[in-house]
Amino acid sequence: MKSIGARLALWYASAATVTLACLFVAGYYLLEGYLIHGLDLLNQSEFAQIRAHLGPDYRDLSPAVINQRIRETTNFASVLFYIDIRTRGHGTIFYSNNLHGRSLPDLRGKSRYLIRLPDVGLLRVGEFPLPPYEVILATSETQVDGVMEGYSEVCVALLVLMLGMSTAIGFGLSRVALRPVRLIRETASRIGSDNLSERIPVPAVQDEIADLAQLLNAMFERLEDSFRNVRRFAADASHELKTPLSLARLHAEKLLANGTLSADNEEEILTLLEDLSRLNGTIDELLFLSRAEARSITLQLAPHDPATVLASFNADAEVLAEHRGLVFSFTHEGTGRAICEPRWLRRVLLNLLSNAVNASPPGGRIELRSVIDREFWRMSIEDEGPGVPETERAHIFDRFVRLRSASGPDHEGTGLGLAICRGIIDLHRGRIHVESGHGGRGLRVVFEIPAADPSYTGA
Ligand SMILES: Nc1ncnc2c1ncn2[C@@H]1O[C@H](COP(=O)(O)OP(=O)(O)OP(=O)(O)O)[C@@H](O)[C@H]1O
Ligand SMILES: [Mg+2]
């Protein structure tokens, strides 16, 4: 069973039901003993009555008189009592009628006992000395059996009820008791590398759960510190690299400007300058990613009309695609405005277009679809290239991930393009993912950002 709540409820229900069952069993024996003791008292009071009726001079009475006196006393109680009076040596001198001539068995050494008589059933017997006689009185135990049977039935019904009720109460209690644990789970599952500052609410009562919440919070504190240090390191390292890189570029440009280099050397310096500029670009991108992850970039977010945002990009995309022998098409549906900063969105679109262009086969088609509704502005760029295997799709937004199969031989990317796209879309509070293109061919990159509330009239 996976849920602790369910387990606690069942343990609680089992413990409560077993405890009640034990009490019922103890109650059974106590009640039975009490009822049998009641039968003994009945026998005893009947004996007292017989003795009183025989009178103090009973020793001098003839057996016939004794028989008559006892019969006078006991006739009316013949339903309740079985009576057998005997003398040592002479045997029984009196049987009650309900014994039909049979004597009550005498168990040696016992004065109170249970016996079973054929046709009569279970009897509680008491032996009382009345020298020179011995009076043996018995009462039927059937009533006690009936009561005990009823008791057992009531107990079983109560146990079933107890099991049902305690399971329901157990579930209720476990839900209440585990509420702080659920709260911890919900908060902990929300905490990720992008919102490490969130903390688990610590319950007011200082118990084990509060300790656990504090422990987890302390762990998140340490994690946040480590993440901050890693990001700061990436940002600092990128920043520190920029100055020597600029100096190297200045020196190279100076060498070129001097005009004293041979044609070969000049060629080498030009290649060096190209590499330096690519390195500079990579450092800029890393710096951007570090700052985006640390949320230290503030976008100028405002409502914009998608058609206007896309107009200049579409013109550039058409030219770029045509230059590479590809066909670019564009559709837009819906009206409304989206919350964005257009220059950053343009950067996302250019990155995605460059990937699509690199992946497309000659003459391939690249399609940009844009739809805006009340909630989101959704865009997708689809190409007819080799696509990305499903197992790789989760990773291609990570830094420096390049899949050899997809990149054309003339394309040497750094693997930062999609990471930057995701950074920018995150800053717009949007989402981005990839899926297969139309008919399972190519790749479709889909992203969406929130649309503006139609009642918003600000800039
Ligand atoms: N449209 C696509 N079709 C097939 N594979 C793609 C597509 N877009 C991206 N990929 C794969 O995902 C990898 C990562 O893309 P990303 O844009 O992050 O890096 P890049 O294009 O290699 O380098 P950069 O964009 O930094 O110049 C690419 O190397 C490529 O293998
Ligand atoms: Mg790219």
Give the residue, by CA position, lying nearest to ligand 1 atom 6: 406
Say which ligand is closest to the CA of 412. Answer: 1
Provide the pLDDT for residue 249: 92
pLDDT-based confidence at residue 188 (cuts at 50, 70, 90): confident
Q: What is residue 405's DSSP assignment?
A: T
Across 32-41, 163-172, 366-375, 450-459, least confident range: 450-459
Residues 72-85 have a mean pLDDT of 80
Residue 396 CA to ligand 1 center (angstroms) comes to 7
Provide the pLDDT for residue 252: 92
pLDDT at 101 over 50: yes
414 lines ligand 1 (CB under 6 A): yes
How many residues are recorded in the chain? 459
Provide the pLDDT for residue 233: 85
Share of the chain above pLDDT 90, in %: 54
Radius of gyration of the chain (CA): 49
pLDDT at 409 over 60: no
Domains and CATH numbers, the chain: 4-148 (3.30.450), 208-293 (1.10.287.130), 302-450 (3.30.565.10)
How do residues 26-43 score in pLDDT, each as one tens digit?
999 999 999 999 999 999
Give the residue, by CA position, lying nearest to ligand 1 atom 19: 415
CB 175 within 8 A of CB 120: no
Provide the pLDDT for residue 404: 64
Provide the pLDDT for residue 21: 97
pLDDT at 412 over 80: no
Q: Return the structure tokens found at 57.
A: 């001079």
Provide the pLDDT for residue 456: 57
How do residues 285-318 score in pLDDT, each as one tens digit?
888 888 887 777 889 999 999 999 999 899 999 9
Provide the pLDDT for residue 459: 45
Say which ligand is closest to the CA of 360. Answer: 1
Provide the pLDDT for residue 411: 60
pLDDT at 73 over 50: yes
39 lines ligand 1 (CB under 6 A): no
Atom of ligand 1 nearest to the CA of 403: 31
Q: Provide the edge-to-edge strand list for the sheet that holds 431-436.
A: 327-333, 365-372, 376-382, 443-450, 431-436
Which residue(s) pair with 87 in the sheet?
A: 91, 133
Residue 402 CA to ligand 1 center (angstroms) comes to 6
159-164: long-range contacts, CB 8 A cutoff, minimum separation 24: 159/17, 159/20, 159/21, 159/24, 162/16, 162/17, 162/20, 163/13, 163/17
* 38-64 burial code (b ≥16 CB/10 A, e <16): ebbebbeebbeebeeebeeebeeeeee
Say which ligand is closest to the CA of 356. Answer: 1
pLDDT at 425 over 70: yes
* 200-229 burial code (b ≥16 CB/10 A, e <16): bebbeeeeebeebbeebbeebeeebeeeee
289 lines ligand 1 (CB under 6 A): no
Residues 163-180 have a mean pLDDT of 92
Give the three-class secondary structure for 237.
helix
366 lines ligand 1 (CB under 6 A): no
Of 348, 407, 432, the residue with max ligand 1 atoms within 8 A of its CB, to mutate for a pocket test, comes to 407
Across 269-273, 320-324, 407-411, 453-457, least confident range: 407-411
How do residues 41-53 score in pLDDT, each as one tens digit?
999 999 998 888 8
How do residues 1-18 score in pLDDT, each as one tens digit?
678 889 999 999 999 999
